[in-house]
Structure 1
Amino acid sequence: MPELTRAVPTAPAPPRAPRRERVTTALRAAAPALQAYAAVRLLGLLVLAAAAGVAGKDPHTLLSARWDSLWYARVATQGYGYEALTPDGAVHSNLAFFPLLPALERGISEITPLSVPDAGLLVSWTASLVAAWGIYAVGARLHGRRAGVLLAALWGAYPTAFVQSMAYTETLFTALAAWAVYAVLTERWIAAGTLAVFAGLTRPSAVAVVAAIAIPAAVTLVRAYRGGSRPRELVREHGRMLLGVLLAPLGWLAYVLYVAVRNGSLFAYFEVQGQWGNGFDGGRALAGFVWQNLTTNVFAGLGLCAALALVLWLLWLLVRQRQPLPVVVFTAAMVFVSLVGAGYFGSRPRLMMPAFPLLLPAALALVRLWRARAAAVLAAAAAASAAYGAFTLLGPGPP
């Protein structure tokens, strides 16, 4: 008789490290990125402090109590319902501002000695580090740790990066968006959907985060269906992914419905945005602004055209470099929603700032340079960003 084959017991899988240990390990790996980002932003704050001192202005007030910061603080202290009448007769309602940041400001101010504006700064500065960590995590997963470090540092040197140090929603939203994209890349669908819920309570542009979850999920389902999977099998095999997709838009929808119920109109939120001049117009306002500059100040018009061409070229590079679908979808959607509104053109670069993958081609180019040259380029970008930030914050207009 043939000898029976003895079954060899398989080695048990190594136990998974506790969550706290995994977070500590990941944070230690991200430390160079956080240090580089913090150094870039610290330079911006130092330049602002010096310039504000010369101009006789208070840098703390510039960061915590200016422009939209005042509106968020008013929501935190008074709730919704405040309206302001502009000189041209338009009504500006604070219902245009999503609730997560003012809710955090109010909560922190009630349990700490911090004022509401200072609580807003605490949220913004803390979220900026979390955002830099998430940006590093995406970059490191796609192209290695050095690319992740450079990507986070470049985001800190973005032209309008001074907003990252203000009591605004940009850092909070970017932190949620970056980690949501990372969760999709690592197939943590429920985590991605949950992060999208909070992003949807932070900014209307959370539709880009929802798209970064829903479109890759749809592609996955279509491929599985074409591969022979039946609908019941798709639900069983991809249940967590479907749950993440269903969760993703709930934060955004919840606030839009809240405004609809409060004002008694299904499209009330969009009416509020329209009163602010921020309605969707398909890009007509942008085209008109560019044309106006081309016909009145040709150099400014050509500069605007060059900037828009640069953004489109960077998007094309992401596609050409075969970046993952969630990264491309999120970036393209962020650029789209930033450019098709009817709002003030000067806010477009700020609205586009969460689209951090636009900086991936630059980060990859710096990876190929010697470290000294890469550091010099990054230092020059940080200095230019710091100077522009001080110039803008000390000026009369909004960013």
Structure 2
Amino acid sequence: MTASTLDHPHYALEHPRYDFLAASVETPPRTRLASLVVGTSAFAAAAVVWLVQLIVVDVAARGHGSTLRAALTQWDAKWMTLIADHGYAGFTYTADPAEPTILRSVAFFPGYPTVVRVVDAPLTIFGVDDATLIAAVVTSAAASLALAWGAAALALEIWTRATGREAGLAASIAVSVVASVVVFGAPMGIVYQMPYSESLFTALAVWALVAMIRSRFGVAGVLVLAAGLTRLTGAALVVTLAIAAAVELIDYWRRRGTFAATTFPWAAVTAPIVGALGIGSYLLWASAQTRSAGGYFAIQDRGWGSGWDWGRSTVGWIGDHVVGGFADATAAGYTISAWSMIVAAALCAAGLWPVVRGRLPWQPWLFSVGVAVIVLGSGGIMHSRPRLLLIPVSLLMLSFAVLAISAAARATCRKRWAGGVAVIGSLVAWCVLGVWVSTFMLIDFDYGI
């Protein structure tokens, strides 16, 4: 579609959606300086949150006779670093030494360990001690920086949808800071600093959502492919991309033969196919390697009990532990897990109305719902749910935070100040909750996260 088409005198009246697009065409893009300021603001806010998290976890770990390193490298972090070092079958790390390691290790997708191995290669060549751990820390840190910028970009897209205009420089900085605080300050946000795949997957997912919103389907397809090689929940991203492509194709057919007609959206049609290659190819390979034990999903069910059960395990766990209390660390961890499921489901439901009204872009909401459905509809290690539901909780809270900021910005002077104070207070409370949950589940809770 060209600018001259959008400027047609009757087009804005008949197609208000494209009247907004016409305004964006006439508006010059953000300068490189503005983009740099936005990214720097997001990085700075994220760094502050990280520093606070690490200090609190370090103090708590020392109080339990442990160290920050031990706290951040437990549970799945061991699997990630071992796979990066030795591949899927080159080590022994199972409860039963007679069981082939590959029957457990294939549950972890190769994206994150592969990146760690690439970063680790030059360190190993030069004989650096703890090269794999250093490479994992660097990988998670770099992915977190990409996530911070991506969260800011997504938040600015949400701002544009909510207000009907692009954010000015001051608003862009504020939105970027809030985006980083919400995402990294979330309960279990500490996992982004650990040798886990969350930082890499979430960064890829967020940038893929931004690309979908901007109709850059070629970029979205490649990012979804990479995300599908990183976590099983990449399936929700593939579905989101497929629906976005279908919407684009339907829009093309509606405009075909009119003065607003465009060329066939080949990028949109091919993007879901490209995106599905990542998760599809790995599941085929993993199932072939574990055929004797029933394939990938049988391994998941046998090792972690994470088979699909239509939410029966989730409902049972909530019923048993939602009022479990905080009598001891185990009961408290179970209660936190139960409430994380309730909050995720509630946020998914609450986000539907703003999406239907056009106040929020539907892509982040649909992806969040997809991840929540995959997690809540399956069994498995229930006390890992606060981490597994981190994406829907943080992305939907980010959406609501941007709506709150936009509402405060439109208010009168006195209400604007009151709204600003409320937003800041809410962010502080959110971070306090997030740091406490992260520290408790990592240090005090006795089971895997």
- Shorter-chain TM-score category? 0.7 to 0.9
Distance 1:160 1:194 in 2: 28
Aligned to 2:277: 250
1:128 aligns with 2:144: yes
Q: Check 1:385–1:295 CA distance in 2 against 1; reply closer, same or farther (3 A cut).
A: closer
Alignment of 1:80-95 (within 5 A): 80-81=88-89, 82=92, 84-85=94-95, 93-95=104-106
Q: 1:94 corresponds to which letter in structure 2?
A: S
TM-score, normalized by length of structure 1? 0.84
Pick from 362, 366, 378: which aligns with 2:401?
362
**Contact 1:217–1:241 (8 Å) recurs in 2:** yes
**Contact 2:41–2:176 (8 Å) recurs in 1:** no
Pick from 53, 56, 62: which aligns with 1:47?
56
Alignment of 1:277-316 (within 5 A): 277-293=305-321, 303=339, 306-307=342-343, 310-316=346-352
Distance 1:34 1:109 in 2: 24
Alignment of 1:144-183 (within 5 A): 144=167, 145=172, 146-183=174-211
Distance 1:93 1:315 in 2: 36
Alignment of 1:1-399 (within 5 A): 26-63=35-72, 65-81=73-89, 82=92, 84-85=94-95, 93-112=104-123, 113=128, 114-143=130-159, 144=167, 145=172, 146-228=174-256, 237-264=264-291, 268-275=295-302, 276-293=304-321, 303=339, 306-307=342-343, 310-322=346-358, 323-355=360-392, 356-359=394-397, 360-367=399-406, 368=408, 370=417, 371-395=420-444, 396-399=446-449
Cα deviation code 1:174-222 (max 9, x no counterpart) = 1000000111111111110001111011000001211221101112212
**Cα drift, residue 263 of structure 1:** 2.7
| Structure 1 residues without counterparts, runs of 5 or longer | 1-12
Q: 1:84 corresponds to which letter in structure 2?
A: T
**Contact 2:348–2:368 (8 Å) recurs in 1:** no
Quick one: percent identity of the two aligned structures? 27
**Cα drift, residue 167 of structure 1:** 0.8
Distance 1:372 1:344 in 2: 39
**Cα drift, residue 142 of structure 1:** 2.3
**Contact 1:45–1:386 (8 Å) recurs in 2:** no
**Contact 1:314–1:361 (8 Å) recurs in 2:** no
**Contact 1:96–1:269 (8 Å) recurs in 2:** yes
**Cα drift, residue 226 of structure 1:** 4.3
**Contact 1:95–1:269 (8 Å) recurs in 2:** yes
**Cα drift, residue 93 of structure 1:** 0.8
**Contact 1:124–1:165 (8 Å) recurs in 2:** yes
Q: Check 1:32–1:342 CA distance in 2 against 1; reply closer, same or farther (3 A cut).
A: same
Q: Check 1:207–1:156 CA distance in 2 against 1; reply closer, same or farther (3 A cut).
A: same
**Contact 2:88–2:106 (8 Å) recurs in 1:** yes
**Contact 1:37–1:132 (8 Å) recurs in 2:** yes
**Contact 2:217–2:268 (8 Å) recurs in 1:** yes
After TM superposition, the structure 1 stretch with the greater mean CA deviation from structure 2, 341-350 or 22-31, is 22-31
Q: Check 1:202–1:332 CA distance in 2 against 1; reply closer, same or farther (3 A cut).
A: same
**Cα drift, residue 24 of structure 1:** 7.0
Structure 1 residue matching 2:220: 3-state secondary structure = helix
| Structure 2 residues without counterparts, runs of 5 or longer | 1-24, 160-166, 326-330, 409-415
Cα deviation code 1:301-328 (max 9, x no counterpart) = 9957853553344333442452223222
**Contact 2:345–2:372 (8 Å) recurs in 1:** no
Cα deviation code 1:70-113 (max 9, x no counterpart) = 011111122113562369x9996101000011112222222123
**Contact 1:260–1:266 (8 Å) recurs in 2:** no
**Contact 1:257–1:266 (8 Å) recurs in 2:** no
Distance 1:317 1:68 in 2: 37
Distance 1:238 1:47 in 2: 50
